[in-house]
């Protein structure tokens, strides 16, 4: 076989592969898409999943069905997507809990970096450190002074061991020099209900769930976990103002099973960009306490990997038992 003939064959193969990818991009999606939300109905992740799912369905012209698969801090749903057929018809709602849960897991049935391909981010938001409106402290410095003077007396809740709320609180313990006791719940809005009922003292919660109760006076916001004050509530101080360097953001984005055609990943990424640019969506994301975001698949992957390393280091420092 001559070199010229070999070049002809290779060129034909490249054209065939290009045509196959182009054809897939043109025909996808041919039927409904499942968006796996790895948390229970009613929580902040579920609210975001339904907002994104509805808009993505409108954009792609097919139904996007939200499938709640809670368990193991979000890892049950993630595992399901990691092992799904890589055709773009099973997507994962990726939240800040994803790297947190993966960092705490003793054993995983999938690789959180290699087996889920990140598609793109939709929004990011800080947490709000909430307490009862009847609490003896009315500011973050007062809380820190009280907690230091009463080690082990204050407790905080979260959606479960290894959740981002749990790890955020432990990061606070480390940086503030406090010892507050963790009382985990089973996810969803259970932790918030515990705070509202007066059975716990503190809670790092997404603005999505906590803002309505703060506005009604049932809860008191002490600070936010962002690097800078939020545009949505500029009067609320950040924890970093009292503890320089403290910074925790959660986020919402989409992922897919690794092996999903690149054309499909890029298509969904571009649709997400269009969605967050819609005025009503941007307004809704701000109302829910976040900022509209858009990232490339590569940028989103790097963001998730950085969070994974941060939580792994904290778990080692606090000697939190991996689950």
pLDDT digits (tens, 9 = 90+) for 180-227: 999 999 876 889 999 999 999 999 998 888 889 999 999 999 999 999
Residue 24 inside a domain? The answer is: no
Q: Which H/E stretch holds residue 196? A: helix 190-196
Closest CA to 162 of 304, 320, 305, 44: 320
Quick one: 136 and 235 in the same domain? yes
Tokens of 227: 């690097």
> What percent of the chain is modeled with pLDDT above 70?
91
- Distance, in Å, from the CA atom of 194 to the CA atom of 176, rounded to the nearest integer, reads 24
- Distance, in Å, from the CA atom of 296 to the CA atom of 288, rounded to the nearest integer, reads 23
Tell me whether the omega of the peptide bond preceding residue 29 falls within 30 degrees of 0, making it cis. Answer: yes
Residue 5 inside a domain? The answer is: no
Instruction: Using the predicted structure, report yes or no on whether residue 247 has a pLDDT greater than 60.
Output: yes
DSSP-derived letter for residue 209 is H
Q: How many CB atoms lie within 10 A of CB 198?
A: 10
Quick one: 85 and 47 in the same domain? yes
Quick one: 94 and 144 in the same domain? no
Confidence of residue 64 (pLDDT cuts 50, 70, 90): very high
Q: Determine the distance from the C-alpha atom of residue 217 to the mean position of all C-alpha atoms in its chain, rounded to a whole number.
A: 27
Long-range own/partner contacts, residues 226-233 (CB < 8 A, 24 or more apart): 226/125, 226/126, 230/126, 230/289, 231/286, 231/291, 232/207, 232/286, 232/287, 232/289
Tokens of 111: 């690789």
Among residues 220, 241, 262, the one where a domain terminates is: 241
- Lowest-confidence segment of 7-11, 108-112, 162-166, 212-216 by average pLDDT: 7-11
Among residues 241, 261, 287, the one where a domain terminates is: 241
Task: Tell me the whole-structure pTM to 2 decimals.
Answer: 0.82
Confidence of residue 265 (pLDDT cuts 50, 70, 90): very high
Considering the chain, what is the average pLDDT of its residues? Answer: 90
Instruction: Using the predicted structure, report yes or no on whether residue 251 has a pLDDT greater than 80.
Output: yes
CB 101 within 8 A of CB 75: yes
Quick one: 147 and 237 in the same domain? yes
Tell me whether the omega of the peptide bond preceding residue 244 falls within 30 degrees of 0, making it cis. Answer: no
Residue 7 inside a domain? The answer is: no
Tell me the average pLDDT across 10-36. 65
Tokens of 143: 């809380």
- Distance, in Å, from the CA atom of 94 to the CA atom of 117, rounded to the nearest integer, reads 10
pLDDT of residue 14: 47
Tell me the average pLDDT across 252-270. 97
CB 158 within 8 A of CB 195: no
Among residues 241, 261, 292, the one where a domain terminates is: 241
pLDDT of residue 291: 85
Instruction: Using the predicted structure, report yes or no on whether residue 13 has a pLDDT greater than 70.
Output: no
Strand arrangement, sheet containing 181-184: 181-184, 155-158, 202-205, 128-132, 219-224
Instruction: Using the predicted structure, report yes or no on whether residue 52 has a pLDDT greater than 80.
Output: yes
């Amino acid at each position: 076989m001559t070199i010229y003939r070999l070049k002809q064959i290779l060129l034909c193969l490249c054209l065939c592969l290009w045509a196959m990818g182009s054809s897939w991009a043109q025909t996808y999606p041919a039927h409904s898409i499942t968006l796996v939300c790895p948390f229970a109905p009613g929580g902040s992740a579920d609210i975001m999943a339904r907002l994104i799912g509805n808009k993505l369905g409108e954009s792609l012209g097919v139904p996007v069905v939200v499938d709640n698969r809670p368990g193991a801090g979000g890892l049950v749903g993630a595992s399901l997507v990691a092992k799904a057929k890589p055709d773009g018809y099973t997507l994962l709602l990726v939240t800040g809990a994803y790297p947190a849960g993966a960092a705490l897991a003793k054993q995983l049935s999938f690789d959180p970096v290699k087996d889920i391909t990140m598609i793109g981010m939709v929004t990011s938001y800080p947490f709000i450190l909430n307490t009862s409106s009847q609490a003896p402290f009315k500011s973050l410095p007062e809380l820190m002074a009280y907690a230091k003077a009463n080690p082990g007396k204050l407790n905080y809740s979260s959606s479960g061991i290894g959740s981002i709320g749990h790890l955020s609180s432990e990061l606070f313990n480390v940086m503030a020099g406090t010892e507050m006791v963790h009382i985990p719940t089973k996810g969803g809005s259970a932790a918030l209900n515990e705070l509202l009922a007066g059975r716990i003292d503190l809670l790092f919660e997404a603005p999505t769930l906590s803002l309505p109760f703060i506005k009604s006076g049932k809860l008191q916001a002490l600070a936010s976990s962002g690097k800078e004050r939020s545009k949505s509530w500029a009067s609320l101080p950040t924890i970093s103002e009292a503890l320089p360097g403290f910074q925790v953001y959660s986020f919402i984005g989409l992922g897919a099973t690794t092996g999903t055609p690149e054309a499909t990943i890029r298509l969904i990424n571009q649709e997400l960009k269009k969605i967050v640019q819609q005025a009503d969506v941007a307004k809704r994301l701000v109302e829910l306490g976040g900022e509209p975001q858009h990232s490339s698949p590569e940028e989103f992957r790097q963001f998730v990997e950085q969070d994974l390393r941060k939580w792994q280091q904290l778990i080692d420092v606090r000697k939190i038992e991996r689950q």
